[in-house]
Amino acid sequence: RTISAWEFDPATGDISNERVFARFVGESDRPDGGAVDREGCYWSAFYRGGRVVRISPRGELLAEFSLPAMCPTMCAFGGPDLKTVYVTTARQRREADELARLPQSGGIFAMRVDVPGTPEPKFAG
């Protein structure tokens, strides 16, 4: 329930000085995959929380976006202007009653946002 941050040296690839970036205490507050927008805010999928959150560079919760699936796993920015957040969700090992309530579990969702994301490097492999 903690998101950590480190200092990063791009010349050497070394990380150091781990610190707590954001901490969440609710039972459904389980940060999973995330992405960063152009304002330096961190977007995190909350597995078992049914939402994506936007966190300021100071670790403050700025916004929450509910999803029609309980287990979002990752968010990423896309589209020509990087103002679409795509969110993947899990379906595996979910209870039948949960899947009946949330039949879109396992889907990919998209939402438009005001602040564009930062481009991710292309996979070289």
Q: Average pLDDT over the chain, rounded to whole?
A: 93
Percent of the chain at pLDDT above 90?
73
Q: In this structure, is residue 66 part of a structural domain? A: yes
In a domain? residue 125: no
Average pLDDT over residues 8-12: 94
3-state SS assignment for residue 97: helix
Q: Looking at residues 70-92, what average pLDDT do you find?
A: 95
Contact of 44 with 65, CB cutoff 8 Å: no
Task: Specify if 1 maps to a domain.
Answer: no
Question: Is residue 27 over pLDDT 80?
Answer: no
Domain count, the chain: 1
What percentage of the chain reaches a pLDDT higher than 70?
100
Q: Tally the residues of the chain.
A: 125
Residue 3 lies in a domain: no
| Predicted local distance difference test score (pLDDT) of residue 98 | 86
Within a domain: 120? no
Average pLDDT over residues 83-89: 98
Question: Which pLDDT score, from 0 to 100, does residue 94 have?
Answer: 85
CATH of the domain at 55: 2.40.10
**What integer pLDDT is reported at residue 120 of this predicted model?**
87
pLDDT category of residue 92 using cuts at 50, 70 and 90: confident
Q: Cα separations (Å) of 43 from 13, 16, 106, 115, 117?
A: 23, 22, 19, 11, 10
Could you tell me if residue 27 is inside a domain? yes
- Just list the catalytic residues: 32
Q: Is residue 53 part of a domain?
A: yes
